[in-house]
Structure 1
């Protein structure tokens, strides 16, 4: 019981353990189901596009970095595997695969029903070209090529399968054995099981974990235990899984201790990611390393991605830091953070544990009898009185028969084991301890009676010899952990927003709390009022203080003491920024004037002022740049000092900055997407490019070695390692294409769209899970516009409301936060006009009227006037349709919409080309026209003659009457 209590206390203290002041890995959290903390996940897998799949009770979840999609399955999914770019999954329904239609949609296809009625499959892995699965009792293989399912004959039940050294192995609660192969496993491998699983690194290194919470490696073909200095934590946390992260780093998932990252070469715990360091829950359900070496941790609250490869680590998870962060500084081998509640520093705390054990003294031991007051004092030490420090040479108290504790030398401590050595006892050892404790009570009673008798006979302290063996208690003190916590510097109450080094030992802290000189963990106040800005001139060893109510105060160092003095009396503006140029001028920046002064030997030598145009009273900052000279800026532009005047200019294509902050002799300027550095040293810095990953930076601190300390507006605190390489891999892909009414279109190289459905939307996506690589897109549509669009995060969705009929090429480029441009594969598609505007329709018309023309030519021999008129009419219509057909072909191959003049001359050219055809048709029609005219005239003359006969007959009748 005592050992369990000590282990529990250690478990609580180790949550902030770190072997060095290195910060915590960057984490990104994902919750597909809001406000639900009982999620159960079994397996994680990633496809060739980078999309992730999560097996859980709901079925199968797909995540592409932005949206979550639930792929319906007949029941819960337990295991996922990737084989030949196809996702296979197993669950209560047996097993199946994911299929893709032409529109990019995924659907589940059950393979178990089509082959045989299978029971619930608990695990499925890929082994070469085959799939191997188990239902908890039997093992099966499935060949996707032949679509055959076979049962593997095994002598023992199979509860779990795995791959070890390219061999297929099976586990159960009792042993480990080979399946589907000849030979036996080494006896040492079997004896140290049963195993939880094995993991292979990219360099073919193997590491495994067994049910005894032990880690093993394969070294030189031999099974070797991975003994850690601090392995007691793994024993208490209970190992569930193990995964290689790199050749040196292994991630170990535990049941109640989060994720433990183990330095394999150093044989120590590198970092613990649990509830106290950002993980929502200490229970890990499964681990998965993605293609970008990020570790996915499934827990009851969802998923967390831990990124050991990202070269910046968090420093705001250490306990003790309180308030809103404003500034930071790495000074004198310590990390300082200024908040609205004061100044804090990160300190190392060593945690010791006191191990109580008993030894048996021989009979006739001389004991020193103490007085009653000491006895009372010993008995009043309370519940944790057994946690005392023992010394090597013990003096036994007669009253309690216990030695006075002394601390052991460091060498003795190391001999007894490293960190967590008290947790290395097995159950058998615990039983032995309990057996030792059983006779302790009667022996103590005998000794107590003997000492009581001695007290009654002798007063005071006297040596007494006892004839009974004595159980003597000893306490051993061991270093259990080294933790880092933030401690507040006493006396600094209120906001600290500026930290300025003075020398190698002292630093100045300033803000609403006043001005302090900080040395180690103590601070001395030199000015008690709130200040806006401070500046330290190392050449003159003086401090300039811009007071909160306006004005300038000078503090000089005389005989090691800081004293106020007056150098500039007429400056009563609100000074926002102070800097010194290479000529020795100290510039005092206000919203409308720029004051300057030269100080030598604490005496004002020269002073002046320069007005600056600043209609909106934006904060003004300045710098002496190595290339540009003295430069000032505010939100509306950049200004260069030329003589005694300021000239506005554009810098790096910017007419005005988007954001600008100052840090350690630099001005950092953002164009809204990328940060640029202006100052005395503007050489490239590997860590500087990582500033583009943060949206709102509050403070930046430059170290001499190139590392950066960054405070962001969301109260995060990071250190960026300039030496650590980072590859920003991302693979954008076309997710789907939609037309009118959100209708999905097939994704392919030859896309044809009707003009009435030419409202198109192209959706691109990138599987970027760290949350820091903000991918921008730009595009152009050849055939419509030759100009590129602007870079934008929203251009991953490209929409066209209407496109005329033509052939198009959509070109897309991406740009990440580091400015790396990556072109994507172009999309070629055609917008076809309505059928009545297509050449084939005019060709059909041409053939139709040509046939009529042919028929009309055959009918020319007819003397019937109706036939001849109809023949002539059809001939003219045919000529018109031929001309329209040729006109359509020409306009389809030449762009005429841009200029009506060009369209007119094109029609004239077509008319000239058609003149021979027109002459030929006219000659053919001329004979027909004359014949029709003669027939018409003949009919008219006949009609006239008939009408004349009728009239003459009427006249004769009248005359006769």
Structure 2
């Protein structure tokens, strides 16, 4: 066995962008998305819709023309700000519009911005008032604008005007033919610039025709506002007596559109839309109750993905009819769905609110599901066993028939599910909140027998083989062996791992009528004889290249459904027995699956029901898969300071842009004209030259870059749609020019300037060197002279120092001599004092008794002593010497104290010479007390306080 890879099947279909065959589903509702006026910020009414080749949609709105690219809305207005009633897009990209007294076209300029060009301005002013242009048609090289008063044909840049017989109503294109209604003569066909009346259509004069559709080559369906539907064939108008006509007569018609040449959408005033086939059988009815935001539908349009857009009286709606999925949600009174089953012509659905049913044989277009009486509450499962409908309910095991819960088999506890005992057709085991119960089949049906003892855990996932009941609970597998009496369990064994290499146990399931144990995408069987789990490579290889799975279920057709991170996938079994892995279509159901309660009911390949948290989804696996197409990524706009380039308005040639450096703040917006499941559209981008890798996928459709350096850049964008399909890259090349100071010419200028500077510097250096040599010579000469002068100065200072030393030495000698002189003078003073004493004593001697000789000698001695005393000049010499030696001191002292007396100068000198008081008294020939008194007077004259030392003061002078 083998299967294709994840997108193997899709690679064959994404190359087709148009639908080859599709069928509108009559079961459930397609996805409906509503856009309110607050979303597009415009008027309430939307009158017409069209789409350009890039996939952008355009809406003719009361407030102007609105463009939608899947990511953002853009508004464009007419010069007179009037309403826009119609829009038609030409293959060249021109967007023709019509409004009140105005018509023309929008066309993108070289920057991709839509610019309006008026055509009505060329009309004669007397004919300019034509009211509202309601319809626009393109007929080869002609563009036809239709108002109630005139038809304007624009061809070869000229306007031709056609007038009605009475008054035009509306106009229609059916195939390659164009029809107009005149309220007085009926329908007319436009041929070669002329209007030709169609016979047999005057019956329509008393009503308004809002739509015309081709049923066959010669049969046209005519839809009127208030008279119903008619067939125009063989020049006759006949009523179309069908189910669709009955609906239109009740609700009035506002036109419609054909879908895939097989179906017709009819808009109504009162009750939404219907989709009918060409026999008039209503296939689908969608109104406000079923999801539309408004029941009055003004226009309908089929886009390039064959999906339906509705312009409403208040808002816009998107209907994803080209999808194999349809939904039963709140409008069908369904909530969380746990299981579905078809039994005796009814579809039964087990939900969190009870069991509901709907006739399987009747169309689902009208009517909700009906609650089965007595099942209100949590219904976990609904099963058909031996043609009896059993419900595993929170209140017990219930037996249902005829839309009623007629019997409660066991109401002691809640039940999860039921399984028959192999090889015992009359016994059935039910898993409940407290283990297992046994049910026995009696002639009147299933009956509760007993609770099986020996295992009391609440059981969810379990399987039964010939001998064992296998239960997965809390990451453990239980192998439970049932006794022969079915009343107790013989043994209970637990397994935390199923092999040494694969730890843990993810799930148990029955595939190909065998029980498999799965972990890490490896599947194991159990050998009863060897009591061991062994790997099954055949099933394991099916999931070899698939990410880690959780829940697995094989349906009645052999398709294997599995869940990856809340995303549903399926290995669809082919006629050859191989499998095709399909993931993309189910990605839209991600996160809506019921956790750990996978509900898949494959009635047949065209009718597969999947339970969701918010209802039930119907899947047609035979439906065309062209809805899964490869998306296109657009760089919607490229903005920088002072300018914006739009690429989504028909601008396909992407040139390389050059941006000044001051505009290096750039912004890109992205879009992808994909409108299904638009919230799951994701973008990834990379700015080459700035980023090394692609960004993560993000729903954000805008990206800004700031402060980009100069250089070449390549902006790449890709998109991933809701089906996981990625687009090709879209690229925009641009260059950010360097600032003027980093421009190429600036660098040349820099080189020239540098060369000039170098030349100038070299020249200056040479001059500097020459000057330096001169200054060096001068400096050397100066240094030589300074050195020579310094030597001379040093020599002079040395000589002066020597002289000073000599003077100091001499001074020392003088001081020594002064001391010696003072000492000698003191000795002389002492000697004179002694001599004077002797003289005084000699006077006391009576010489009368001396003889003459003695008297003579005595007198001679006395005279000799007196002469010695009188002739001694030591005092005068001492005084003179002291004044000479201390001349500077005496001078400074005199300057400091001008009032000082000579006697006080002598005293100051004696004190400076550190003479004692006694010595001073002897020298000055005064008493010691006189010296102290003289000292006191000297201190007072010198203004010394008591704390100042007199000798110290004198020494500091």
Q: TM-score, normalized by length of structure 1? A: 0.64
Change (3 A) 1:739 1:204: farther
Change (3 A) 1:89 1:218: same
**What count of residue pairs does the alignment treat as equivalent?**
717
8 Å CA contact retained: 2:337, 2:350: yes
Change (3 A) 1:667 1:310: closer
| Aligned equivalents of 1:96, 1:32: Cα separation in 2 | 25
Partner of 2:249: 235
| Aligned equivalents of 1:263, 1:641: Cα separation in 2 | 52
Partner of 1:697: 593
Secondary structure at 1:490 match in 2: coil
Q: Once the 2 structures are TM-superposed, how far is the Cα of residue 173 of structure 1 from its aligned partner? A: 1.7
Change (3 A) 1:495 1:97: same
Partner of 2:390: 508
> Is it true that 1:710 corresponds to 2:610 in the alignment?
yes
> Is it true that 1:770 corresponds to 2:656 in the alignment?
no
Paired residue for 1:77, among 75, 78, 84?
Answer: 84
Partner of 1:544: 429
Q: Which moved more, 1:798-807 or 1:821-830?
A: 798-807
> Is it true that 1:122 corresponds to 2:133 in the alignment?
yes
Q: Once the 2 structures are TM-superposed, how far is the Cα of residue 562 of structure 1 from its aligned partner? A: 3.2
> Is it true that 1:252 corresponds to 2:266 in the alignment?
yes
Q: What per-residue deviation string (whole Å, max 9, x for no partner) do you get for residues 565-605 of structure 1?
A: 56853222232321246x76431122153212355977567
8 Å CA contact retained: 2:325, 2:620: yes
> Is it true that 1:92 corresponds to 2:80 in the alignment?
no
| Aligned equivalents of 2:513, 2:711: Cα separation in 1 | 52
Superposed CA RMSD in Å reads 4.8
> Is it true that 1:828 corresponds to 2:717 in the alignment?
no
Change (3 A) 1:490 1:101: same
Q: Once the 2 structures are TM-superposed, how far is the Cα of residue 200 of structure 1 from its aligned partner? A: 5.9
Q: What per-residue deviation string (whole Å, max 9, x for no partner) do you get for residues 677-736 of structure 1?
A: 5899996479875321123122532315233212322x2322111111132344332112
Change (3 A) 1:250 1:177: same
Change (3 A) 1:338 1:602: same
Partner of 2:636: 735
| Aligned equivalents of 1:555, 1:627: Cα separation in 2 | 23
Q: Once the 2 structures are TM-superposed, how far is the Cα of residue 831 of structure 1 from its aligned partner? A: 3.9
Q: Once the 2 structures are TM-superposed, how far is the Cα of residue 327 of structure 1 from its aligned partner? A: 3.3
Partner of 1:439: none
| Aligned equivalents of 2:525, 2:29: Cα separation in 1 | 45
8 Å CA contact retained: 2:167, 2:183: no
Q: Once the 2 structures are TM-superposed, how far is the Cα of residue 664 of structure 1 from its aligned partner? A: 5.3
| Aligned equivalents of 2:668, 2:513: Cα separation in 1 | 45
| Aligned equivalents of 2:770, 2:41: Cα separation in 1 | 98
Partner of 1:488: 371
Partner of 2:143: 131
Q: What per-residue deviation string (whole Å, max 9, x for no partner) do you get for residues 534-588 of structure 1?
A: 231362444333333x33323233555434456853222232321246x764311
Q: Once the 2 structures are TM-superposed, how far is the Cα of residue 241 of structure 1 from its aligned partner? A: 0.7
> Is it true that 1:596 corresponds to 2:511 in the alignment?
no
Change (3 A) 1:342 1:806: same
Change (3 A) 1:602 1:781: farther
Q: Once the 2 structures are TM-superposed, how far is the Cα of residue 122 of structure 1 from its aligned partner? A: 2.6
Q: What per-residue deviation string (whole Å, max 9, x for no partner) do you get for residues 356-381 of structure 1?
A: xxxxxxxxxxxxxxxxxxxxxxxxxx
Partner of 1:630: 516
Q: Within 5 Å, give how 1:659-678 maps onto structure 2.
A: 660=551, 669-672=562-565, 674-677=567-570
Q: Within 5 Å, give how 1:649-688 maps onto structure 2.
A: 660=551, 669-672=562-565, 674-677=567-570, 684=579
Q: Within 5 Å, give how 1:880-895 maps onto structure 2.
A: none
| Aligned equivalents of 1:626, 1:841: Cα separation in 2 | 78
8 Å CA contact retained: 1:763, 1:796: yes
Q: Once the 2 structures are TM-superposed, how far is the Cα of residue 336 of structure 1 from its aligned partner? A: 0.9
> Is it true that 1:263 corresponds to 2:147 in the alignment?
no
8 Å CA contact retained: 1:752, 1:829: yes
8 Å CA contact retained: 2:571, 2:582: no
Q: Which moved more, 1:745-754 or 1:295-304?
A: 745-754
8 Å CA contact retained: 1:44, 1:287: yes
Q: Once the 2 structures are TM-superposed, how far is the Cα of residue 163 of structure 1 from its aligned partner? A: 3.8
Partner of 1:274: 287
Partner of 2:456: 572
| Aligned equivalents of 1:598, 1:808: Cα separation in 2 | 70
| Aligned equivalents of 2:509, 2:479: Cα separation in 1 | 13
Q: What per-residue deviation string (whole Å, max 9, x for no partner) do you get for residues 116-175 of structure 1?
A: 5533333241333333224421222234x63x3343355543343444564544322222
Q: What per-residue deviation string (whole Å, max 9, x for no partner) do you get for residues 730-769 of structure 1?
A: 43321123458x9745654313445665454432212222
Change (3 A) 1:37 1:138: closer
Change (3 A) 1:684 1:560: farther
| Aligned equivalents of 2:513, 2:732: Cα separation in 1 | 45
> Is it true that 1:22 corresponds to 2:27 in the alignment?
yes
8 Å CA contact retained: 2:421, 2:464: no
8 Å CA contact retained: 2:632, 2:727: no
| Aligned equivalents of 2:76, 2:214: Cα separation in 1 | 30
Partner of 1:902: none
Secondary structure at 2:196 match in 1: coil
8 Å CA contact retained: 2:307, 2:322: yes
8 Å CA contact retained: 1:122, 1:136: yes
Change (3 A) 1:105 1:574: farther
8 Å CA contact retained: 1:177, 1:190: no
8 Å CA contact retained: 2:137, 2:173: no
Gaps of 5+ in 2: 1-23, 499-503, 648-653, 786-957
Paired residue for 2:355, among 340, 343, 346?
Answer: 343
> Is it true that 1:499 corresponds to 2:509 in the alignment?
no
Change (3 A) 1:841 1:201: farther
Q: Once the 2 structures are TM-superposed, how far is the Cα of residue 95 of structure 1 from its aligned partner? A: 1.8
Q: Once the 2 structures are TM-superposed, how far is the Cα of residue 236 of structure 1 from its aligned partner? A: 2.6
8 Å CA contact retained: 1:497, 1:510: yes
Secondary structure at 1:749 match in 2: coil
Q: Once the 2 structures are TM-superposed, how far is the Cα of residue 257 of structure 1 from its aligned partner? A: 3.5
Paired residue for 1:53, among 58, 78, 93?
Answer: 58
| Aligned equivalents of 2:212, 2:477: Cα separation in 1 | 68
Change (3 A) 1:773 1:207: farther
Secondary structure at 1:842 match in 2: helix
| Aligned equivalents of 2:388, 2:202: Cα separation in 1 | 61
Q: Once the 2 structures are TM-superposed, how far is the Cα of residue 246 of structure 1 from its aligned partner? A: 1.8
Gaps of 5+ in 1: 1-18, 352-480, 857-868, 875-928, 950-961
Partner of 2:819: none
- Higher relative CO (Cα under 8 Å, sequence separation at least 6) belongs to 2
Partner of 1:329: 341
Q: Within 5 Å, give how 1:319-468 maps onto structure 2.
A: 321=333, 325-347=337-359
| Aligned equivalents of 1:336, 1:520: Cα separation in 2 | 11
Paired residue for 1:553, among 437, 445, 454?
Answer: 437
Secondary structure at 1:65 match in 2: coil
8 Å CA contact retained: 1:687, 1:720: no
| Aligned equivalents of 1:182, 1:100: Cα separation in 2 | 33
8 Å CA contact retained: 1:261, 1:271: yes
Change (3 A) 1:217 1:527: same
8 Å CA contact retained: 1:344, 1:487: yes
> Is it true that 1:808 corresponds to 2:819 in the alignment?
no
Q: Once the 2 structures are TM-superposed, how far is the Cα of residue 28 of structure 1 from its aligned partner? A: 2.4
Partner of 1:467: none
